[in-house]
Amino acid sequence: MGRPRKKLSLVETFLGPRVLTLPELSRRLSCSRTTVLRRLKEHGYYSSYNHRGTFMTIEEAARFDAHGLWLCKTARFSKRGTLKNTVLHFVQTSREGMTHQELVTLVAVRVHDTLLDVVKEGGIRRQRLGPTFVYLSGKRSVEKKQILRRKELLKERRRPRATCRQKIATLLELVQDPKVCREDIVLRCRRAGVMITQELVDTIFEEYELDKKRAP
């Protein structure tokens, strides 16, 4: 008569596949689904926030990234557990709030209905800032800071960006004549065949803090 087969522990069961369904766990552990769920609850586990929570994993098997997210094959997991808690966390801790598209890019699933639910519950708020709605923390003090930072971000995005050629041309004019005014820089650059505007010159001055560097 052979030796009885050693029963696998919950951790050992997950270490190979990393992700399992409830029926798979029941079969591998040789116990009922009710017992599996009890053991999972006692140990602590994560359910996938997609596939209707069909897939499960544990801390020892998961490989969460810096955002607290993990993709294993097609199953997606979050350290915050549910999709609702995950969305709530990202919005509340974001420096400038988050748009719907920014959240979708991060969690890689639909979040429209989830966002509406969290807004209705008062966990987060939303406000149109720029071309789209931005979701903000439900805490007023945090929300105010997020709005200010989002406005700064939108302003930065609208600001024209100078090309390398325009930057070099501007800096060369300053080297040749440190006291030259910005309007003359525009005229001189254009005469040299470099198309540039006053706004772009202003941007270059701010980027390199040129006024400070040539101050007497």
Q: What is the pLDDT of residues 142-173, one digit of tens each?
A: 999 999 999 998 887 777 888 999 999 999 99
Residue 204 resides in a domain: yes
CATH of residue 104's domain is 1.10.10.10
CA-based nearest residue to 48, from 90, 107, 127? 107
Domain membership of residue 71 (yes or no) is: yes
> Per the structure block, which two tokens stand in for 182?
């910005």
| Model pLDDT, residue 25 | 94
For position 139, what pLDDT does the model report? 94
Residue 166: both structure tokens together: 């325009």
Q: Is residue 144 included in any domain, yes or no?
A: yes
Same-domain check for residues 87 and 154: yes
- Its domain, for residue 176, covers 164-213
- The per-residue pLDDT for 215 is 60
3-state secondary structure 64-112: CCCCCEEEECCEEEECCCCHHHHHHHHHHHCCCCEEHHHHHHHHCCCCH
Q: Is residue 115 in a domain?
A: yes
Residues 197 and 141 in one domain: no
- How are strands ordered across the β-sheet holding 20-21? 20-21, 55-57, 46-47
Say whether both 90 and 56 belong to one domain: no
- Same domain for 207 and 140: no
Residue 34 and residue 23 in contact, taking contact as beta carbons nearer than 8 Å:
no
Residue ranges of the chain whose pLDDT lies below 70: 1-7, 215-216
Please report the pLDDT score of residue 7 as a whole number: 62
pLDDT at 101: 94
Interacting residues of 170 by C-beta distance below 8 A, sequence separation 6+: 162, 185, 189, 196, 201, 204
**How many separate domains does the chain show?**
3
Q: Is residue 117 in a domain? A: yes
Are 65 and 32 members of one domain? yes
Q: State residue 92's pLDDT score.
A: 96
Within this chain, do residues 203 and 172 fall inside the same structural domain, yes or no?
Answer: yes
pLDDT of residue 53: 96
Residue 73 lies in a domain: yes
Same domain, 125 and 138: yes
Claim: this prediction has a pTM higher than 0.85? no
Note whether residue 4 is domain-resident: no
123 in the same domain as 148? yes
Element (H, E) at 25: helix 22-29
The answer to whether residue 22 is domain-embedded is yes
